[in-house]
Amino acid sequence: MIVGDSQWLGAASEAGHYVDLTQFFNDNKVGEIMAPATVKYYAEYPGNSGKYWAIPAEGDAVGWSYRKDWFEDPTEMANFKAKYGYDLAPPKTWKELRDIAEFFHRPDQNRYGIAIYTDNSYDAMAMGFENALFSFGGDLGNMETYEVEGYINSDKAVAALEAYRELYGFTPPGWAKTFFVEDNQAITEGLAAMSMNYFAFFPALLNESTNPHAANTGFFANPAGPSGDRYAALGGQGISIVSYSTKQEESFKFLQWFIKDETQKRWAELGGYTASAKVLESEEFRNATPYNEAFYQTMFIVKDFWAVPEFAELLGQLNNRIYPHIVGGEGTAKETLDALAADWKATFAKYGRGK
């Protein structure tokens, strides 16, 4: 068996590496057991095809940590309300996220507003930007027809890129190549008021031996965009059976055991990030850690990157286009995304996808 990233679904299934789990999925009602968004992105390929190649296993997505003591300081609260006209609290919208980042950005005090993903060597910056893109009502494209014009370069997508670029202006110095290590360090080193990261890396922020501010660290789910859309970039993995394995019978038995409610409950108790809807919705799970409530909210609103075999090319093209704009201010957001749309359109044409 293999625990594989969701983006591998296309390459692994089309190349014949994964066993088709559609019959198992339907017979065992996996779609009713796991959170719907995790089924769509960890298991199904092509999109909306009803064909399944994995069982949602390790749920993960991008969320946020923040300094509760900064947010709850009476002087900071009074000053924030005087400036912005509403109470300082974990942001529920991207506008509030931006305001709070601006408010706490104080380079002369070695205090900064926010930490975001900017590393363009794999999927860090893409995942970070997707948090804005999806919540602003934008999208990567049509996952069934592979149309990208009017999606990745729509007005909403342009506004999302502008918002992400603006947040970069409130990051600590040297924040042009950052991922999960640096974003956790932004909290542990007392640099930033808020920090983006995968939930998988939040346990370290509650450990006093790795975070001196553990007692004052809180968490929240990705905020909503201007029109109320609220999504988060998907992390985590599904588990698949390798087609040339000689242990397929045992693997199916394992999957039958793995999807049981009691197994998923125990998996969560041991610290696993379950994708089980029933476990996620339970009060016991939601109150188990300071970040579980945000994780519960997030796993029902996740969206993912392209899962086609050529996803690495698409990812590289996105990185090459948006990185110079976000960290260097090159071109406008519209010019950047128009160029990306042209790149992706050509790539899909090369592989014979869409019209």
Q: How far apart are CA 186 and CA 171, in angstroms?
A: 9
Instruction: Give CA 197 to chain center in angstroms.
Output: 8
Q: What is the mean pLDDT of residues 95-107?
A: 98
Q: Mind listing the pLDDT tens digit for each residue in 44-54?
A: 999 999 999 99
CB-based contact 98:195 (threshold 8 Å): no
Q: Regarding the domain with residue range 62-230, which homologous superfamily does it belong to in the CATH classification? A: Periplasmic binding protein-like II (3.40.190.10)
pLDDT tier, 349 (very low <50, low <70, confident <90, very high otherwise)? very high
Question: Cis peptide leading into 46, omega within 30 of 0?
Answer: yes
- Number of other CB atoms surrounding residue 129 within 10 Å: 26
Q: Mind listing the pLDDT tens digit for each residue in 265-298?
A: 999 999 899 999 999 999 999 999 999 999 999 9
Alpha helices (H) along the chain:
9-14, 22-27, 30-33, 36-38, 68-72, 74-84, 94-104, 124-135, 155-168, 180-188, 248-258, 261-269, 277-281, 283-286, 292-298, 311-328, 333-350
For position 174, what pLDDT does the model report?
A: 95
pLDDT tier, 353 (very low <50, low <70, confident <90, very high otherwise)? very high
Q: Mind listing the pLDDT tens digit for each residue in 176-187?
A: 999 999 999 999
Q: Mind listing the pLDDT tens digit for each residue in 109-146?
A: 999 999 999 999 999 999 999 999 999 999 999 999 99
Looking at residue 276, the DSSP 8-state letter turns out to be B
Q: Mind listing the pLDDT tens digit for each residue in 1-37?
A: 999 999 999 999 999 999 999 999 999 999 999 999 9
Q: How far apart are CA 146 and CA 196, in angstroms?
A: 29
2-59+234-303 and 62-230, same CATH topology: yes
The pTM score is 0.96
Q: How far apart are CA 330 and CA 308, in angstroms?
A: 29
For position 354, what pLDDT does the model report?
A: 83
pLDDT tier, 351 (very low <50, low <70, confident <90, very high otherwise)? very high
- Number of other CB atoms surrounding residue 257 within 10 Å: 10
Q: What integer best gives the mean pLDDT of the chain?
A: 97
For position 210, what pLDDT does the model report?
A: 96
Instruction: Return the closest-CA partner of residue 233 out of 303, 156, 182.
Output: 303
Q: CATH for 2-59+234-303?
A: 3.40.190.10
For position 355, what pLDDT does the model report?
A: 67
Q: Could you state, in order of their start, the residue ranges of all structural domains in the chain? A: 2-59+234-303, 62-230
- What percentage of the chain reaches a pLDDT higher than 90? 99
